[in-house]
Amino acid sequence: MGEAVAAVLAENREQWDIPTEVEALLRASIAAAAFAIDAYVAVLAGSHKSPVAMSHLAEAKSRCDRSIRQLRRRVLRSVAEFRRHMSGREFARAAGMPIRM
């Protein structure tokens, strides 16, 4: 979802006069969440065999959860940013939602 929103921002940034920071922050959050998820999975996998990995599991989970929450906030802010530039019909079409007549 985040990548799709970032792509829409990139395609329409100049047309809608959206600051480049909006897309950059979203892409940074996507990368941070991917890294945190990978790190958590790696620590989780090692926690069955290693007491050291087990001691880092709670922190890895916390960082993973925090980065996912941040990504959700950034996606919502980004959607709100480009929603300001679209009609309800355009937004529904872009989101793939059926349009009622």
Confidence of residue 79 (pLDDT cuts 50, 70, 90): confident
Q: Could you tell me the two tokens for 31? A: 């990368």
Tell me the pLDDT tens digit for each residue of 24-35: 999 999 999 999
8 A C-beta contact, residue 82 and residue 18: yes
- Confidence at residue 90, expressed as pLDDT on a 0 to 100 scale: 67
Residues 46 and 101: their CA atoms lie apart, in Å, by 55
Task: Parse the chain into domains and list their residue ranges.
Answer: 2-95
Residues of the chain with pLDDT > 90: what percent?
53
Report which of residues 29 and 10 the model is more confident about: 29
Distance CA 62, CA 37 (A): 10
Half-sphere exposure of 39 (CA within 13 A, CB side): 17
pLDDT reported for residue 99? 47
